[in-house]
Structure 1
Amino acid sequence: MIDLYTAATPNGHKISIALEELGLEYRAHGLDLMSKEQKQTWFTNINPNGRIPAIIDRDNDDFAVFESGAILVYLAEKTGQLLPSDPKNRSKVIQWLMFQMGGVGPMMGQANVFHRYFPEKIPAAIERYQNEGRRLFEVMDSQLKDTEYLAGNAYSIADIATWPWVRIHEWSGIRIEALPNLQRWMDLIASRPACQKGIQIPPPSTLSDEERAKQIQKMVTQ
């Protein structure tokens, strides 16, 4: 049994998707980020950084794992799935996983902040992060010209890590026009039942986009 501590965000969805893909038994615990539940002591004992997602593997001496990329690697190694065992192909998957962790996620996250949440509109900052997000999309589109998935022709944790971010490109104000390979990949991943279920865990917010933006803006500026 895996206990998953999560929220309806791209980073949270990575892990619920992976758990669904791997067929692991788990319990999802949704944290209220707006009330800063993730900063409470009980949770920082699991993840000292006070961020979701985190897991506790009850079948492995209650072993706790935090950081979404580290969780994906842990689950893949636990099951022997979604991460090749041969060194070269394993390295390719890890490289594209790090591409998401160090590039796609942070750049889109900053685009979200300045495009949606920051109380003062700073055009130069918005343009910087949207342009960098688009550049990273172009890198993926070029890679996907010759491969079905990001790290080759096998679905992996690199795809699971990246898709939840790319699927919300409109929220970040980043266009995907003229990126046919990226769009093909997005549709391919979106058709997977585990992905469709994973993005519903925990249930998405019922707030409108405007209400959600105002709520997050309040959290960002506190």
Structure 2
Amino acid sequence: MIELYYAPTPNGWKISIMLEECGLPYELHPMQLGRGDQHQPEYLKLSPNGRMPAIVDRDPIGGGEPLAMFESGAILIYLAEKSGRFMPQDTRARFEVLQWLMWQMGGLGPMLGQNGHFLLYAPEKIAYAIDRYTREAKRLYGVLDTQLAARDYIAGDYSIADIACFPWIMTHKAQGLSLDDYPNVKRWYATLRARPKLQAGLALGKQETQPMDQQARKIMFGVDAPSHAQAQQ
């Protein structure tokens, strides 16, 4: 059994979608990020970075003690290996998938996160930041659109590369972007959106979502978050 520490955000959706797609049994531990669950000492033992998601596998690969893991990209690789799904065995194909997973982790997610922050949550509208991250978001969408021009999925067959990227592309309206400008991304997005298991992963924890009030924003964006050392005391 896998314990999933989760909230319905793009990074959380990656793992809920993967678990549903793989058919692996899991137990949900809902997290209220606006209340600071991610900063609690017990959670920091699982995820030292104080971010979500995290898992604990009670029956890990290779046996032994339960395995705790954080970072959504690492979790996706682990679940692919555990299930034997959505990661090719051929070396070239495997590293094609891993390249695009790293692209999402290092580029698409962080840049869209910053774009969304300055568009939607920053207390001041900073023109330079909005322009900087909007242009980078558009560039990254263009990279993905080019990659999808001659293929149905990002790296060959449907894989963890698609599972990692899809939840971030799902935020396109909030990002101020239109999929009409990226026809290959639009086609790919519609194909994935129709997958029943993907839909089940997206639906997980919807009822747990809380409104983003001023106090929640302070906690979410680190103003009131304790330092790691304080949280461990």
Structure 1 and Structure 2 fold alike (TM over 0.5): yes
Query: In structure 2, what is the equivalent of residue 52 of structure 1?
Result: 52
Structure 1: which amino acid aligns with 2:147?
Answer: Q
Q: Over aligned residue pairs, what C-alpha RMSD do you find? A: 1.5
Pick the aligned partner of 1:191 from 191, 194, 198. 194
Q: CA separation in 1, counterparts of 2:127 and 2:213?
A: 18
**Aligned pairs (5 A) from 1:106-121:** 106-121=110-125
Task: Describe the shift of the 1:188–1:204 C-alpha distance in structure 2 as closer, same or farther (beyond 3 A).
Answer: farther
Which residue of structure 1 lines up, in the alignment, with residue 24 of structure 2? 24
Letter in 2 for 1:84: P
- Of 179, 182, 188 in structure 1, the residue corresponding to residue 182 of structure 2 is 179
Report whether the alignment pairs 1:202 with 2:205.
yes
Structure 1 CA distance for aligned equivalents of residues 2 and 214 of structure 2: 33
**Given the two structures, how large is their TM-score scaled by the length of structure 1?**
0.93
Cα distance in 2 for partners of 1:119, 1:188 equals 37
Q: 1:221 to 1:40 in 2, by over 3 A?
A: closer
Alpha-carbon distance in structure 2 between the residues aligned to 1:132 and 1:10: 18
Opposite residue 177 of structure 2, the aligned amino acid is: I
Q: State the shift of 1:45 in Å.
A: 0.6
**Counterpart Cα distance in 2 of 1:130 and 1:89:** 32
Partner of 2:59: helix, strand, or coil?
A: coil
1:4-61 superposed Cα distances (whole Å, 9 cap, x missing partner): 0010100000000000000000011111101111111110111111111000001122
Q: Which moved more, 1:16-25 or 1:174-183?
A: 174-183
1:39 alignment partner in structure 2? 39
- Secondary structure of the 1:56 match is strand
Q: Please, which runs of 5 or more residues in structure 1 have no aligned partner?
A: none
Q: For residues 29 and 149 of structure 1, do their structure 2 counterparts lie closer, same or farther at Cα, with a shift above 3 Å needed?
A: same
Instruction: Give the aligned residue type for 1:8.
Output: P
Percent identity between the two aligned chains: 49
Selected match of 1:83 from 70, 81, 87: 87
